[in-house]
A and B are shown apart, each in its own frame.
Chain A
Amino acid sequence: MLFPTITFATFFMVVFLANWFLMPYPKRWRWFMLAASYFFYGFWNWRFVGLLVVSSLANQFFAVQLERAKAESSRKGLITAAVAVNLGLLGYFKYYGFFVDSVNSTLDSLGMSGSLPLIQITLPVGISFFTFQALSYVIDIYRRKLAVAPPLDFAVYLAFFPQLVAGPIVRGTELLPQFQGRRDPRRIDASRAFYLIAIGLAKKVVIADFLASNLVDGVFASPGQYGSLEILVAVYAYSVQIYADFSAYSDIAIGIALLLGFRFPDNFNAPYTAVSIQDFWRRWHMTLSRWLRDYLYIPLGGSRGAGLLTQRNLMLTMLLGGLWHGAAWRFVIWGGLHGLWLVWERYREQRRTEPLVITPGVQLRRRLVTFHLVSFAWIFFRASSMSTAWEIIRRLFTEWGGGVDAITVPILLAVAVGIGAQYVTRPAVDRVLAGFSRLAPAAQGGVLAVSLFVIDALANEGVAAFIYFQF
């Protein structure tokens, strides 16, 4: 079930009412929300609801055993098993094909036969997200940062539909306590929720889908048909598309959760205003960055060791972060590029003897450099194969005499709006929301109706799935 559809709007109206009517009855609320979330997930494929149930049962089992175990060796064994089971599930569904393909290619290149069997495995939507949430839960219990939740609470947490399929990656420490507390039905932060949902819809159907169907998809499918300038604009356009698409889902998810009385962590904070790659990762997919930092980078040693060890940890974290996004070498390269740039930034930072003076000119230069580095790496992320990525990079520099027909004013406008909107400050938005929140509910509904009209009128026909569903 996609967010920007009538089907979801109908589903949500029912869930909204039941959510607040059942709030005084915690047990009934939990059962209802679990059923609603499974229904939402089952709309894609009912068979995978079973996977979600298995993941819930297995992780709750490990959580209970971890709490009961006294000996450190037992606890270590249990957490190792829990991590192995979760990564095993993820590995089977997401990486089996990649692994077999890679092994077979290597065997072929060595002139050896005996290919490993390929079987068709359907990737369950959102498996990377709920697996990471489950891992954070058991690891936090192992670290004694979180108490074991009641089984029903944990099942609702893992399946909670607003963030189930594409994040944000909400940790147990953030959401489980909210299930225990009492939410006030008289104090819903509706203005922010409505704003996030409306802006998310606009980003998805007006900006992201428009750029995809009018330039990006064509250029990345057949780069040989386009000149350097067209390719350059397509690369910029994809940077905007993926931001608009993914942050849209997060915005809508956070807005929906707010309407139900829950607060999710922010997931994006104007990433293309970043002045360094490190700054970019503090603004892009923030819940994944935090996850990788707390459950991978720091356990690897973080920045505690010598310089080289820290650089190794950075590289490993980014390489694995790349692989999390997709089972292909181009995602590894994408992560590797970010890792290299982070290492380089850290190296330069350590060699600096005097504090950096950030003048407006320096800030602009750093923003431009960061945006272009990030955009360059997106080429590997978006291209369907390594050869396509290289072809795009080659043509980016060698076909300046080529055509410009694919570049239109609406495309340039969408790119400019997608980047420019990131410079709108949070206080400015808050001032508008404060004014909006003082309107009567009917007037708020009227403003939203006009917003929906504008969004739908400017949108492409049909709704494409969100990019991050595939991860």
Chain B
Amino acid sequence: MAASVTPAPSSAKPLAAGHVFVAMVIALLGGALLNAQAMLRTAESQELGTERSVALFFAEPLASVSSALRLDTPREVVDEVLGREFAGRDEDLTLPAATTTTTVEGGSVASTTTTTTLPVLRAVTGAAPLDLWVIGDSFAELFGPALVNRSTDTGLIDAEVDFRFISGLTRPDYFDWPAYITEQLPEVTPDAAVVIFGGNDAQDVIIGGQKAEVGSDEWVALYGVRVGEAMDALLTGTERVYWVGLPIMESASFTANVLIMNGVYEAEAASRTGVTYVPSFDLFKDENGEYNAYLDGKHMRYSDGAHFTWNGGYRLADEVLSVISTEWGLS
């Protein structure tokens, strides 16, 4: 027998559809005004494109009205109480290229050269294990824990993961990884860092008011600087950085972008002492040299054609651990 459907509370007064609509409009508009700054932040964090433009079309005037009426003050107070960084209305939220130290002259970038003397690696023992800090975007979601689990199995490595969904290096206005790294390193004090980025980085940016498409000389130059900043930040507090490249993707266009980004990682790593580039592109090809969600009879990649499953995470973790073990004399 079917259960009865939700009964109406006998004492509640029903509303007419028109009144419900009015209440909903007031609720959404009021809620939007009170949360206007957060909505603006969310809109600005989206990739360049129609969706972002539409979101900004609504969010910007809402934020202006909210600011003029001081309706954003309660949210500001709550964010401060909760210890959240509040991107206030006076902060410049435009894309960062124009304000960075990057110099784009004739399509080339005056690259920064960092000279670092490679420190002698300390001896790793069970009593003094190698402290590993695994950071990245959503590609670290399962790869990171897989690496942690494999590390624990060795008895010689202590690893911890710190990843952020929807983050990357192209858009420090959304999440500033180099600043975060600098802030966290004194607390984490790792011996080495394992890094994987790129899931959200293949997006067009604005450089000096001009749109730079992914793969253009300007974009590659800018991305190189961003990657370099992250590497340099890590090198201030670690002895080694292992920068993991991205694997082949199901989408041909994403794969093309991955090849561009991997080129940047490899070049930036090669220009620094203490940074090792760990490629993963070929590791996830099948016997025909193609993308395949299943390798060796195991499900490696999710149905989005990009992210790792646990099996994929472990496959990559084993590869990275073998590089680390060799360098640190663990094997």
A contacts, CB < 8 Å to B: 6, 9, 13, 16-17, 20, 97, 101, 104, 115, 118-120, 122-123, 171, 173-174, 185-192, 194, 218, 221-222, 224-225, 254, 258-259, 263-266, 286-287, 290, 294, 384-385, 430-431, 433-434, 436-438, 441-442, 444-446, 448-453, 456-458, 461-462
User: B79 at interface (Cβ–Cβ under 8 A)?
Assistant: yes
Rounded to whole angstroms, the CA-CA distance of A118 and B309 in the bound complex is 15
Max chain A Cβ within 10 angstroms of own Cβ: one of B1, B20, B74, B142: B20
Interface pair B23/A190, CB less than 8 Å apart: yes
Work out how many contacts link A and B, with CB atoms closer than 8 A: 184
Interface pair A434/B11, CB less than 8 Å apart: yes
User: B124 at interface (Cβ–Cβ under 8 A)?
Assistant: no
- Residue-wise, chain B 138-161 has the 8 Å CB interface mask toward A (1 for contact) of 000010110011001000000011
Residues of A within 8 A of B50 (CB): none
B8: nearest residue on chain A (CB-CB)?
Answer: A189
Q: Which of B30-38, B202-210, B227-235, B262-270 contacts A (4 or more CB under 8 A)?
A: B30-38
Interface pair A445/B30, CB less than 8 Å apart: yes
- The answer, among B5, B8, B149, B161, for a CB contact under 8 Å with A264, is B5
- The answer, among A97, A385, A434, A449, for a CB contact under 8 Å with B29, is A449
Interface pair A222/B15, CB less than 8 Å apart: no
Residues of A within 8 A of B21 (CB): 13, 16-17
| Nearest CB on A from B48, distance (A) | 18
- The answer, among B2, B20, B26, for a CB contact under 8 Å with A265, is B2
Interface pair A286/B24, CB less than 8 Å apart: no
**Total contacting residues, chain B, CB less than 8 A:** 56
Rounded to whole angstroms, the CA-CA distance of A118 and B294 in the bound complex is 7
Which residues 1-52 in B have Cβ within 8 Å of A in the complex?
Answer: 1-6, 8-9, 11-17, 19-31, 33-35, 38-39, 42
Max chain B Cβ within 10 angstroms of own Cβ: one of A254, A385, A445: A445
User: B219 at interface (Cβ–Cβ under 8 A)?
Assistant: no
Interface pair A457/B79, CB less than 8 Å apart: yes
CB contact under 8 A between A453 and B35, given known A222-B145, A222-B161 = yes
- The answer, among A115, A119, A441, A450, for a CB contact under 8 Å with B20, is A441
B38: nearest residue on chain A (CB-CB)?
Answer: A456
CB contact under 8 A between A441 and B142, given known A187-B14, A452-B27 = no
A287: nearest residue on chain B (CB-CB)?
Answer: B3
B contacts, CB < 8 Å to A: 1-6, 8-9, 11-17, 19-31, 33-35, 38-39, 42, 55, 74-75, 78-79, 82, 142, 144-145, 148-149, 152, 160-161, 165-166, 293-294, 297, 299, 303, 310
| Nearest CB on A from B19, distance (A) | 4
Rounded to whole angstroms, the CA-CA distance of A192 and B5 in the bound complex is 13
| Nearest CB on B from A12, distance (A) | 8
CB contact under 8 A between A448 and B160, given known A186-B16, A186-B17, A453-B75 = no
Q: Is the interface of B mostly helix, strand, loop or mixed?
A: helix
- The answer, among A190, A436, A442, A450, for a CB contact under 8 Å with B14, is A190
Rounded to whole angstroms, the CA-CA distance of A431 and B22 in the bound complex is 23
- The answer, among A9, A20, A254, A430, for a CB contact under 8 Å with B12, is A430
Interface pair A225/B29, CB less than 8 Å apart: no
Residues of B within 8 A of A173 (CB): 2
A391: nearest residue on chain B (CB-CB)?
Answer: B149
Residues of A within 8 A of B142 (CB): 221
B305: nearest residue on chain A (CB-CB)?
Answer: A120
Residues of A within 8 A of B310 (CB): 384-385
Interface pair A225/B160, CB less than 8 Å apart: yes
Interface pair B27/A448, CB less than 8 Å apart: yes
| Nearest CB on A from B305, distance (A) | 9
- Among all A-B residue pairs, the 8 with the closest Cβ atoms: A449-B30, A445-B26, A452-B31, A448-B27, A221-B145, A263-B5, A453-B34, A434-B11
| Nearest CB on A from B54, distance (A) | 10
B29: nearest residue on chain A (CB-CB)?
Answer: A449
Interface pair B6/A449, CB less than 8 Å apart: no
CB contact under 8 A between A185 and B17, given known A115-B297, A437-B12 = yes
Interface pair A9/B28, CB less than 8 Å apart: yes
Interface pair A224/B34, CB less than 8 Å apart: no
Rounded to whole angstroms, the CA-CA distance of A442 and B165 in the bound complex is 38
Residues of A within 8 A of B20 (CB): 16, 188, 190, 259, 441
| Nearest CB on A from B42, distance (A) | 8
Sample of 4 more A-B contacts, CB < 8 Å, known A16-B17, A20-B17, A222-B148: A188-B17, A218-B145, A445-B25, A453-B35
Interface pair B161/A438, CB less than 8 Å apart: no
